């Protein structure tokens, strides 16, 4: 039957029964026939089918109860029409990525059938299936098309339809169709939840809580409930949330994957999981837990034998895990960090919010890749006061038990959730030993060669095995990267398990070209006359990527992250990475249109680059923005210098030459101009490392390639903060701004805050009018306060915007610092040359104006959307910025006397530094000590008089008084630096008095 005849039949069908018959016949005609699907879609079938399936009676989901009487009755004629139409769209979506564009218009109609409160179960199931198939289409378009998964996610993750997802996941019926709904809804979350905005919506709308309830059901079913938990739940008002033994067909691995995607990179959302009422009911975070005498007797045997010194830190689930001796952890730590770098206090800059390091996160929401250690010239690390370790949730050891007892995907996903909780700091410190000795080695083993059995007659089984192997190769390196990033101990555990060779092999295999099979033909959803008019570019877009190529691109991203993570601290590991020959593959991963990774040719040229037109033929795909960011992170980690201190000549990283020869400089400078904030930040961060200790000629080329004006803009403009303020005030009422838009945004924010407040209320087992605050237990009150504080820290848009600005500005300042310092060949002469070049490129006065502006407090005039009067907010300069400015001046003062004279002449700038001697940041105080030392340095007798004048000027500004206070600083390194600076400053003053 021709495509036009189907349109005619649908148009002529007047009654619901006739429409059902036509749609059923159409469905049976196209199922399993790609060419027939192409013909009917090109004939315009999507629009009439979408019109027929639209549930016009679907109300706005207001959270109130709805009539569920339709659940037990047969489908009405109208519902039968919608069911056939949904199944047609689901079938077309299975045709592949070429159908995604025409199917987009059907999204509202599909979603109108998703709510279980006002749609029969069969329609809900069919709509979920259509959405899932459509998500698979979009996933294969990533990197090739302007539309992707976000198109579907933006439609699904709205307030109305997220509420429907929450209802689906909260259903308790054991019927097969409901269980299938729950599985598909969970699967949809794993396919679409790729951005932070979606994570926040799912966490505060009840979806995370519904998933946590199902996890609690598994815990009950397997008998892992903490002894005495029911009594505690009664006391805390959580008895109604204590789950029964839920017989669920939802795969545990899928459930854990959905949870891990929602809570990733957020201590607030991870804490929401631990404090979810059902999890809190079965795994109370309480010291009141009663351990059965039989179990306690067995453990006491270990105590008598001297095998346990941490019994007070254990909860009941810990007794199911083998004991890890503390000595083993201490031994591993001693081997790695016996000699911490000079000038540090042992702290590490953190990658994720409130992560494992004591310094906390400085760039939440700005980057997925941190910069750790003191091995570079431009580094800032800031320890904070140690806090009393919080009591750990029993969910942590339960995940370890799952990891040890399960296999395959369940094992991997348990590791994924455990890793997130570890990274955001919700595990006790001693867990590092468990993870290093059991989790890391097993994850590394998962990277081994294919474990697929030979293909048999069961096609579905073969596909399932292939999907499992692909997921392992995509996710295991990513989980390892999170574990290794902030821990030298876990890096060593992975290195000892030979992870570098396995990662290198995976990265190389990801660049094996994927040649499409000839039977796949391109087509256009237009009339026949247009079918052959498309360019090669259009054909590549309409085809999308083969699933294997999409898999390889995801493997590139995860392996690059893992390579960067293990290369952060030790040159031994960096050298091992380079020896694997992966540098060309890393550099190629920085190109959106990669070709075969090859070393430079004999004449120094690179092979010709691929274009979008040739990608489909070459089979290397298009690297997504996430791959580009991960590649920048790898370059950044590999280009770091050996451990150093300020003003000491450093050795150039043995990897830098090879990275430079691969042509990375121009690529990094190009990415610094990217409109993607994360890519821009990571590229600038990598460029900062790259210019340290390279030749002056290369430094000059780098600054010119980057652009002096662009560098100044990155440092000076509060882009994110000003954009946020503009959105709140409506700007100047210029183009693109409207009061209605601002009101809509404010309403969305209000709704978000209201839903969050409501969620926090119900999360602890109380309604709005029950259980007053005075009757709640202490543990519940503490949980509420903690969630409120975490919520403010993570979801405040003003704070997030300012952190993004600070991250970029710090890296820009550090780029200048490394540009003028860290000279290799040429020593002090080279430093002097680069300072003069900087003054020439940016302007001498302009340079000092920029530095002074970064030390001044910022005044914010926030607008209040509710009309209440507001006061201005004074934001002091951040420690990272102060330290960065300080070390630029340190390098200038380490040059020739005329540069020291230039610095001492900046009276207003120096006055801004005086109050910073009291700063809580160790790095700030150290930088100031180094500055005084360098400013009072005397080159020779000709510099005597000028040195004395500099010393006198510093004393008059109050620097001597401030330095004397630092002689009693709690940090040893600061005390020693201060004493040296005081002695040198006084020598200059006394010498002038003698004269």
Q: Has residue 649 got a pLDDT over 60? A: no
The pLDDT assigned to 310 comes to 47
* Location of structure tokens 């392996």: 559
CB 542 within 8 A of CB 534: yes
pLDDT confidence of 790, banded at 50, 70, 90? confident
599: in domain: no
Q: How confident is the model at residue 614 (pLDDT cuts 50, 70, 90)?
A: very low
Which position has the higher pLDDT, 246 or 15?
A: 15
951 is in which domain, residue-wise? 794-860+874-991
Q: Give me 516's structure tokens.
A: 């499409």
The closest alpha carbon to 192, from 145, 238, 154, 164, belongs to 154
Q: Span 730-737, mean pLDDT? A: 39
Residue 325 confidence (pLDDT): 61
> How many Cα atoms sit within 13 Å of 736 on the Cβ side?
4
**Does some domain include residue 504?**
no
Cβ neighbours of residue 754 under 8 Å, at least 6 residues apart? none
Instruction: Please say whether the beta carbons of 153 and 193 come within 8 A.
Output: yes
Q: Select the more confidently predicted residue: 755 or 254.
A: 254
Q: What is the pLDDT of residue 731?
A: 42
Instruction: Please check the confidence at residue 87 and state whether its pLDDT lies above 70.
Output: yes
Tens digit of pLDDT for each residue in 173-195?
888 999 999 999 999 999 999 99
The whole-number pLDDT of residue 599 equals 64
Q: Is the pLDDT of residue 768 over 80?
A: no
Tens of pLDDT, residues 391-432: 889 999 999 999 999 998 999 999 999 999 999 999 988 889
Q: What is the mean pLDDT of the chain?
A: 78
Q: Is residue 886 within 8 Å of 928, Cβ to Cβ? A: yes
Q: 636-639 long-range contacts, Cβ below 8 Å, gap at least 24?
A: 636/369, 636/371, 636/564, 636/682, 636/685, 636/686, 636/689, 637/563, 637/564, 637/565, 637/567, 637/568, 637/574, 638/563, 638/564, 638/567, 638/574, 638/577, 638/578, 638/583, 638/586, 639/686, 639/689, 639/690
Residue 855 lies in a domain: yes
Mean pLDDT of 335-359: 34
Please choose, from the candidates 271, 285, 390, the residue with its C-alpha nearest in 3D space to the C-alpha of residue 779.
285
Question: Looking at the predicted structure, is the pLDDT value of residue 16 above 90?
Answer: yes
Q: Which residues pair with 875 in a beta bridge?
A: 858
- Quick check: 292 pLDDT over 60? no
pLDDT category at 600 given cuts 50, 70, 90 is low
Q: Does 635 have pLDDT greater than 50?
A: yes
Taking only the tens place, the pLDDT of each residue in 265-285 is 999 999 999 999 999 999 988
User: What pLDDT is stored for residue 315 in this prediction?
Assistant: 75
Question: Taking the CB of residue 866, how many other CB atoms lie within 10 A of it?
Answer: 7
Q: Evaluate whether residue 946 is within a structural domain.
A: yes
> What's the pLDDT tens digit per position in 459-477?
677 777 888 889 999 999 9
pLDDT of residue 93: 94
Q: Does a structural domain hold residue 581? A: no
CB 903 within 8 A of CB 947: no
Position 659 pLDDT exceeds 70: no
Q: What is the pLDDT of residues 557-580, one digit of tens each?
A: 999 999 999 998 888 999 999 999
How crowded is residue 758: how many other Cβ atoms within 10 Å of its Cβ?
Answer: 15
For residue 971, pLDDT over 80 is answered with yes
Provide the CATH number for the domain around residue 940: 1.25.10.10
Query: What is the arithmetic mean of pLDDT over 485-505?
Result: 94
Write the pLDDT tens digit of every residue in 543-553: 578 889 999 99
Q: Is residue 490 part of a domain?
A: no
Q: How many domains does the chain have?
A: 1
Give me the mean pLDDT over the 360-383 stretch: 32
The answer to whether position 60 is within a domain reads no
pLDDT on residue 250: 87
Exposed, middle or buried: residue 193 (CB in 10 Å: 0-12, 13-18, 19+)? buried
In a domain, 827, yes or no: yes
Reduced to 3 DSSP states, what percent helix, strand and coil does the chain have, rounded to the nearest 5? 65, 0, 35
pLDDT at 381: 35
Residues in CB range of 87: below 8 A, 6 or more apart: 27, 126
């Amino acid at each position: 039957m021709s495509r036009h005849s189907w349109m005619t039949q649908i148009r002529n069908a007047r009654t619901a029964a006739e429409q059902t018959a036509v749609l059923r016949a159409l469905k049976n005609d196209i199922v399993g026939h790609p060419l027939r699907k192409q013909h009917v879609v090109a004939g315009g079938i999507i629009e009439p089918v979408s019109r027929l399936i639209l549930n016009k009676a679907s109300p706005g989901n207001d959270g109130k109860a709805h009539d569920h009487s339709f659940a037990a009755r047969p489908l009405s004629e109208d519902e039968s029409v919608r069911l056939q139409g949904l199944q047609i769209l689901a079938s077309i979506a299975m045709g592949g990525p070429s159908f995604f564009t025409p199917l987009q218009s059907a999204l509202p109609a599909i979603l109108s059938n998703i709510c279980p409160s006002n749609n029969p179960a069969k329609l809900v199931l069919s709509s979920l299936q259509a959405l899932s198939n459509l998500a698979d289409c979009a996933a294969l378009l990533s990197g090739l098309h302007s539309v992707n998964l976000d198109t579907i996610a933006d439609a699904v993750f709205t307030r109305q339809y997220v509420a429907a997802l929450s209802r689906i996941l909260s259903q308790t019926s054991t019927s097969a169709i409901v269980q299938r709904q729950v599985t598909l809804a969970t699967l949809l979350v794993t396919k679409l939840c790729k951005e932070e905005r979606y994570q926040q919506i799912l966490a505060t709308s009840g979806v995370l809580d519904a998933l946590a309830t199902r996890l609690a059901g598994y815990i009950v079913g397997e008998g892992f409930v903490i002894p005495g938990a029911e009594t505690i739940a009664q006391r805390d008002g959580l008895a109604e949330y204590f789950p029964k033994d839920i017989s669920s067909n939802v795969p545990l691995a899928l459930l854990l994957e959905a949870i891990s995607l929602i809570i990733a990179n957020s201590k607030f959302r991870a804490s929401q999981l631990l404090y979810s009422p059902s999890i809190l009911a079965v795994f109370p975070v309480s010291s009141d837990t009663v351990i059965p005498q039989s179990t306690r007797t067995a453990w006491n045997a270990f105590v008598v034998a001297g095998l346990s010194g941490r019994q007070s830190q254990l909860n009941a689930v810990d007794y199911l895990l083998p004991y890890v001796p503390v000595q083993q952890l201490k031994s591993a730590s001693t081997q790695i960090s016996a000699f911490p770098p000079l000038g540090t206090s042992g702290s590490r800059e953190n990658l994720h919010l409130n992560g494992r390091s004591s310094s906390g996160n400085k760039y939440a929401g700005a980057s997925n890749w941190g910069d750790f250690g003191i091995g570079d010239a431009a580094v800032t690390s800031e320890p904070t006061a140690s806090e009393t370790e919080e009591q750990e949730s029993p969910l942590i050891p339960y995940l370890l038990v799952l990891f040890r007892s399960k296999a395959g995907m369940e094992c991997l996903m348990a590791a994924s959730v455990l890793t997130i909780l570890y990274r955001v700091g919700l595990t006790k410190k001693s867990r590092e030993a468990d993870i290093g000795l059991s989790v890391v080695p097993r994850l590394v083993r998962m990277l081994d060669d294919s474990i697929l059995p030979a293909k048999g007659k069961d096609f579905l089984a073969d596909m399932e095995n292939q999907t499992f192997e692909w997921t392992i190769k995509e996710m295991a390196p990513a989980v390892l990267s999170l574990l290794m990033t902030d821990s030298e101990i876990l890096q060593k555990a992975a290195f000892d398990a030979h992870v570098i060779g396995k990662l290198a092999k995976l990265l190389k295999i990801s660049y094996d070209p994927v040649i499409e099979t000839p039977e796949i033909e391109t087509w256009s959803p237009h009339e026949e006359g247009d079918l052959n008019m498309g360019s090669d570019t259009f054909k590549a877009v309409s085809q999308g990527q083969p699933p294997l190529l999409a898999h390889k691109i995801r493997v590139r991203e995860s392996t690059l992250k893992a390579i960067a993570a293990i290369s952060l601290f030790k040159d031994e590991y960096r050298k091992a990475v380079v020896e694997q020959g992966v540098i060309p593959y890393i550099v190629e991963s920085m190109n959106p249109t990669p070709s075969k990774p090859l070393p430079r040719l004999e004449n120094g040229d690179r092979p010709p680059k691929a274009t979008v037109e040739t990608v489909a033929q070459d089979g290397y795909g298009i690297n997504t923005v996430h791959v580009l960011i991960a590649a920048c992170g790898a370059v950044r980690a590999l280009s770091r210098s050996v451990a150093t201190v300020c003003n000491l000549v450093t050795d150039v990283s043995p990897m830098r030459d090879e990275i430079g020869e691969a042509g990375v400089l121009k690529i990094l400078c190009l990415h610094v101009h990217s409109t993607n904030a994360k890519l821009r930040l990571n590229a600038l961060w990598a460029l900062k490392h790259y210019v340290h200790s390279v030749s002056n000629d290369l430094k000059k080329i780098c600054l010119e390639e980057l652009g002096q004006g662009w560098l100044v803009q990155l440092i000076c403009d509060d882009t994110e903060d000003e954009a946020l303020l503009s959105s709140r005030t409506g700007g100047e009422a210029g183009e693109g701004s409207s009061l209605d838009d601002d009101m809509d945004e404010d309403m969305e924010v209000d709704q978000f805050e209201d839903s969050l407040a409501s969620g926090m209320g119900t999360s602890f087992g109380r309604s709005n009018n029950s259980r007053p605050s005075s009757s709640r237990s202490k543990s519940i009150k503490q949980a509420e306060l903690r969630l409120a504080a975490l919520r403010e820290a993570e979801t405040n848009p003003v704070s997030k915007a300012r952190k993004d600005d600070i991250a970029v500005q710090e890296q820009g300042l550090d780029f200048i610092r490394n540009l003028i310092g860290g000279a290799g060949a040429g020593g002090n002469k080279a430093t002097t040359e680069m300072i003069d070049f900087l003054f020439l490129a940016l302007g001498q006065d302009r340079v000092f104006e920029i530095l002074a502006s970064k030390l001044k407090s910022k005044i914010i005039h926030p607008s209040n959307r509710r009309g209440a009067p507001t006061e201005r907010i004074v934001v002091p300069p951040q420690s990272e910025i102060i330290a960065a400015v300080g070390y630029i001046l340190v390098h200038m003062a380490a040059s020739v006397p005329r540069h020291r004279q230039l610095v001492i002449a900046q009276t207003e700038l120096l006055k801004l530094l005086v109050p910073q001697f009291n700063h809580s940041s160790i790095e700030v105080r150290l930088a100031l000590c180094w500055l005084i030392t360098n400013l009072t340095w005397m080159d020779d007798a000709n510099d005597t008089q000028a040195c004395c004048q500099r010393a006198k000027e510093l004393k008059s500004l109050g620097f001597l008084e401030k330095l004397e206070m630092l002689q009693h600083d709690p940090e040893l390194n600061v005390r020693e630096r201060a004493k040296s600076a005081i002695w040198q400053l006084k020598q200059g003053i006394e010498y002038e008095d003698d004269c």
